Chains A and B, each alone.
Chain A
Amino acid sequence: MIHIAINKKLHGASADMQLDVNFEIKDGDFVALSGKSGSGKTTLLRILAGLEEANGIIHVEEEIWLDNNICKAVQKREIGFVFQDYALFDNMSVLQNLLYVKKDLVLANHLLHVTELTELKDRSPSTLSGGQKQRVALCRAMMKRPKILLLDEPLSALDPVMRSKLQNEIIALHKEFKTTTIMVSHDPSEIYRLSNRVLVLEDGKIINDGSTKDVLLRTKGSQKFSFEGELLEIKKVDVIFIAIIAIGQQLVEVVVGEDETKNLNIGDVVNVSTKAFSPTITQ
């Protein structure tokens, strides 16, 4: 069990705010931290890692990482950290990058095998693609067998195919090592695939905390198929009305009743939803 209760004043882009969170994480959980930029997600990870000071407590199992008297140094906290950029040593081979953290050749070879990097182990990181570098960074973070793995948008710079491959590897590693993981991510499909719990941060406070499915399926009532969009136009055709709505990059048309048109204004942000029984899927 990990208990985190943190309080810190942050200087945000528009205004100062208070990072104020208090939550527990079960061992082996994969928690996604989501929320708008500037909501305090990365700061929270940095405080956990010991890279930033804060008031409060961090208890990891029986150990105290932070309280009124103690603030464990970064290198004493058993933490693995993967950022968006790779921060690998280019003057060392892939394998040496891993062994630099801990001289455990068996573990290093095993991690390289799981992430399909064995053939690249003697290469310099500078010769690798972004996805390969990020896999090396992930392996390196696991070399200490950390108690907590912190991932800060680790896949956001990668293309969709590489993203999906790395997600599979993160799943495989999590299955094997059962490392308690906290990941900052904005991508709902990534959050859904990887995490079992989601914390949503806004202005330094947790505004939503629940199982991944409950938090991500933003639905009202029994409607399961739900999107937010902008109302562009309503036109009358025969005895019905057709609303044109922009959802992301896509325009959709929805037939609405006359009574509904009375409450709708062009430019409104609207929710388009239907039951899970109605849509069809094609490839």
Chain B
Amino acid sequence: MKLLKLVPDNTNIQFLKLRVPFFVLSLVLIVGSWIAVAVNGLAFGVDFAGGQEVRMTFTQQTTAPIPSLREKIATLGYGEPVVQEFGAPNQVSIRVKLPDGAEQAPDAAKAIGERVIATVKADHADARVDGNDTVSGKVAGEFRNQAILALLAAMAAVSLYIWVRFEWQFGVGAMFALVHDVSITLGLFALTQWEFTLQIVAAILAIIGYSLNDTIVVYDRIRENLKKFRKMEMGALLDLSVNETLARTVMTSLTLFVALIPLLFFGPPSLFGMVAAITVGLFVGTYSSVYMAGPLLIWMGVTTNSFVPTETALDKQEKIARGEA
């Protein structure tokens, strides 16, 4: 039986040759994402913005009449409503701000939700209510703080772990790769204006853990090769390590994608944003394992001498025996 080999044996792609242009491209993408987030902002859902959110499905229509809904609900007097598609094209989330004082009176908030529902149903008998949420401004603010804290803590913890298991340069490389992956995922949500909810933060936290899997495999090989090929030039050694592990990188990423992509297209529409975030995050994560995590090591001065033990185990034993350590 002939087995499938996605990466032929003895593949030798000179990845590192193009490290500067690709690194610049990555920097442009990162900064571009930041600008997109700053200019467009993220389309916060009710979790982070607070307010009253109604989710509806128009069961008899292929696309939701978003502009007319927006117009109609604006006349109710709760300010400019946020009406956006979520999940399928015939599903919308409608968010209105709560007037001052309404937050203290939950019945008032609920009544606003009911009025929105009644207004939509008056025009569209096929509208099905999927959800009706009230999140007070205080709770929404806490969600925002917790989300930022969790993202930073997770990135720091993971990088710290890589530092402990490898060397500090590897920790910095991992941190940089994470910033890259997270920034581009955020940029995607700023550009598309897909609803940014607690689920999306959950997706990004998952990306932080899983996008490093490939990086770790490459790093593990670099460490092994650094000890094996003491005379090799660093660029060549990185290329060798990346090529040797390329089949793994491709396969591990591919198994994740073939599992995720059916979920993206055939799964529950309300999971679309989350699964899209994970898929994109892991995709750029694979790229950053090759093009960010590796070259950064060169620039941080990792050489084949970095892993030469300065003191052999024998020396140490002798020292202990002599009572010096």
User: Do A and B come together as binding partners?
Assistant: no
